[in-house]
Amino acid sequence: MKQEAGNRRPLFDGLWQWDRSAPVPKWQMVSAALGTALPLVFGALVGRAEIGFIIALGSLFIVPPDGDVPLKAAVTYYARVVFTGFAATSLGAWVGPHHSLTASLILVVMNGLVALAGGINRTLAANSVRFAIFFMIGTGISLPTQAHPLWIGLFSSLGAVWAALISLFFPNMKKESSHRSLSVHDSKADFHAQMKYWLVRLKTFRAWSYPIRLVLCLSLAQGIQLLLKSPHAYWISLTIVLVLQRNAANGTSRIFQRAAGTFFGVLLGAAVLAFPVSMPWLVLIVACIGGVRRYLKVRNYAVYSMAMTPLLFILLNRGKQISFDLMVDRLIYTLVGCIIALVFGYWLWTVGEKRQKTAKK
């Protein structure tokens, strides 16, 4: 019993731990706040508020690198992110309105192939996760008037470009020094060598683990969505790609943090949109959450997930007041997505390994 209690403790400790080891430059928070909130102001001023929300969604793609990253590396990194965002959001917006078996198959297969290609190197791995998240976000974007999916992708990309330009400007204005962002830099090995190594690794189950887990979870989510025939059930798939991690060996702690944060974040987002909120207040709320998201991600992953979920909630609903039924649906869909990810994306694949290790001992 003592051993079991000792194993459970880290699962919950991650919810309360506050990591202060890594600095978060203030300019990153300011640039992120401006990158997320100003598109809403732009949309309101031109009389197309719904466009402003899509642009703001695209700005979430951008995570500012630290100031000592070379300009060429930062621009290259941003170009890849913008292209990934355009492709993912456009495809998601194209698939989303078609609630059919064919559309679901395209969604599952496309994300499975991208996840498989993400095993080539660290850059593609990060972009494969971005692709999955914004593919699901794209399926949930609906405009009052019919808009071509490419336009939705372009508006989203415009938000990413805007946030990237701001983040490139602010390092020149800051005074404090900061550590180098590793996510911007590729591996030192050339792409040809990485491809050869990846092709060799494809002969092992480990290279297929994440794509298979993702495909299994998304297949279940899409099956439920087809049965329910609810346009809001895409939130199950979105929750899965937010919760599921590429490396299942990290244990349940980080997955549990993300799942708990996502679930309670829906509660927070529903509480905000349960009452009519004016545009100035929406801009302020989006700016605050968008500004602190980088800080929270470094400090506490559960709190970061809890903050990001209402931000998505607000932007996808275009700031409109939601009904009680929709709030209940989102909570149920979030819980279902978390359960699918934890059971079929993690537990089924780790319990066998743990039993084998125990048997060897």
Per-residue pLDDT of the chain (361 residues; tens, 9 = 90+): 444 444 444 555 566 677 777 777 787 888 889 999 999 999 999 888 889 999 999 998 887 665 567 778 888 888 988 999 999 999 999 988 887 899 999 999 999 999 999 998 888 888 899 899 999 999 888 665 567 889 999 999 999 999 988 888 776 554 444 444 444 445 556 778 888 888 888 888 888 999 999 999 999 999 999 998 887 889 999 989 988 888 766 556 767 777 788 888 888 887 887 788 889 999 999 999 998 888 888 888 888 888 888 888 888 888 887 777 777 888 888 889 989 998 999 888 876 565 555 555 5
Q: What is the radius of gyration, based on Cα positions, of the chain?
A: 20
pLDDT for residue 12:
57
Please state the three-class secondary structure of 218-268 as a single string. Answer: HHHHHHHHHHHCCHHHHHHHHHHHHHCCCCHHHCHHHHHHHHHHHHHHHHH
pLDDT for residue 177:
42
pLDDT for residue 66:
54
Give dist(CA 302, CA 254) in Å, integer: 8
pLDDT for residue 208:
92
The Cα angle at residue 294 between residues 289 and 299, in degrees rounded to 5: 105
pLDDT for residue 353:
60
pLDDT for residue 319:
80
pLDDT for residue 355:
56
Give dist(CA 34, CA 41) in Å, integer: 10
pLDDT for residue 15:
63
Cβ atoms of 81 and 127 within 8 Å: the answer is yes
pLDDT for residue 242:
86
Burial 209-231 (b: 16+ CB within 10 A, else e): bbbbbbbbbbbbbbebbeeeeee
pLDDT for residue 3:
43
Question: pTM here?
Answer: 0.83
Cβ atoms of 356 and 284 within 8 Å: the answer is no
Give dist(CA 223, CA 357) in Å, integer: 34
Kind plus residue range of the DSSP H or E element containing 341: helix 324-342
C-alpha pair distances (Å), 89 with each of 3, 107, 184, 235, 244: 46, 12, 22, 15, 19
DSSP state of 67: T
Cβ atoms of 81 and 130 within 8 Å: the answer is yes
Give dist(CA 331, CA 183) in Å, integer: 33
Give which of 19, 5, 3, 4 is closest to 257, Cα–Cα.
19
